[in-house]
Amino acid sequence: MQSINRDGIALAHHHTPGIGPTIVFLPGYASDMSGSKAVAIEAWARASGRACLRFDYAGCGESGGAFEAQTLASWRDDALAMVDRATEGPVVLVGSSMGGWIMLLVALARSERVVAMVGIAAAPDFTDWGFTPEQKSVLREQGRLEEPSIYSPEPTVTTRGFWESGEANRLMHGPIDLAIPTRLIHGQRDPDVPWEHSVKLADLIRSDDVQTVLVKDGDHRLSRPQDIALILNAIEDVSATP
């Protein structure tokens, strides 16, 4: 494991050297680089001789920092630090759930480096549509929302700082000025992020080279063998070397 220091916080990452653009995996909310998709992508990259980077946001996994002190913008900055300091040359961003939102923000900020994107149940703007009015009121008034998670025995915690940061970085209100190959994969049985959001996102991204794959029996995680195969095919499609 390697690490870089950003604002006094050690950000853990694993870098696999290789040819072609570096494939950078961006985890979802409260997730980390040890998930099955990240590990499978790294294994494929290593077997293919491709460059790959997986990492943990501050407050997650093996990185330092307190989880509840982080925001969408700080995690975006973690991803930017990884692109700037842990990779060289062109990169392909692979964003899962919230990582799909960060993927878009990083691509806009580093348009000279990011050559393609793959979104997996991408969830841009989920601070808007992902919370009820009652939940938003709790965040405003109490500063913290804690809810049971179907993915972990620990509850999912959202802070007012994170929610406000998300609201300040919404993208789905107009065209997204990215003219790069993009693949969006979404399960139609996703209980967390409606698949229609990927269809709308495909329309907003300026590139003509955008393909949306809907998996009729797919859930939010999209981590079954057949789902992983779709993801790897999409990565290979957009990152093929000349």
Residues annotated as part of the active site:
97, 190, 220
Q: According to the model, what pLDDT value does residue 150 have?
A: 81
Q: How confident is the model at residue 154 (pLDDT cuts 50, 70, 90)?
A: confident
Q: According to the model, what pLDDT value does residue 48 have?
A: 95
Q: What is the mean pLDDT of residues 199-219?
A: 98
First to last CA, the chain: 31
Span 107-143, pLDDT tens digits: 999 999 999 999 999 999 999 999 999 999 999 999 9
Q: How confident is the model at residue 241 (pLDDT cuts 50, 70, 90)?
A: very low
Q: According to the model, what pLDDT value does residue 98 have?
A: 98
The residue extents of the domains of the chain are: 2-126+179-239
Q: According to the model, what pLDDT value does residue 90 have?
A: 97
Q: According to the model, what pLDDT value does residue 242 have?
A: 43
pLDDT at 160 over 50: yes
Span 58-112, pLDDT tens digits: 999 999 999 999 999 999 999 999 999 999 999 999 999 999 999 999 999 999 9
Token pair in block for residue 129: 């549509």
Give me the residue label for tokens 């982080």.
Answer: 70
Q: According to the model, what pLDDT value does residue 120 have?
A: 98
> What mean pLDDT is reported for the chain?
96
Q: Which fold has domain 2-126+179-239?
A: Rossmann fold (3.40.50)
Span 15-39, pLDDT tens digits: 999 999 999 999 999 999 999 999 9
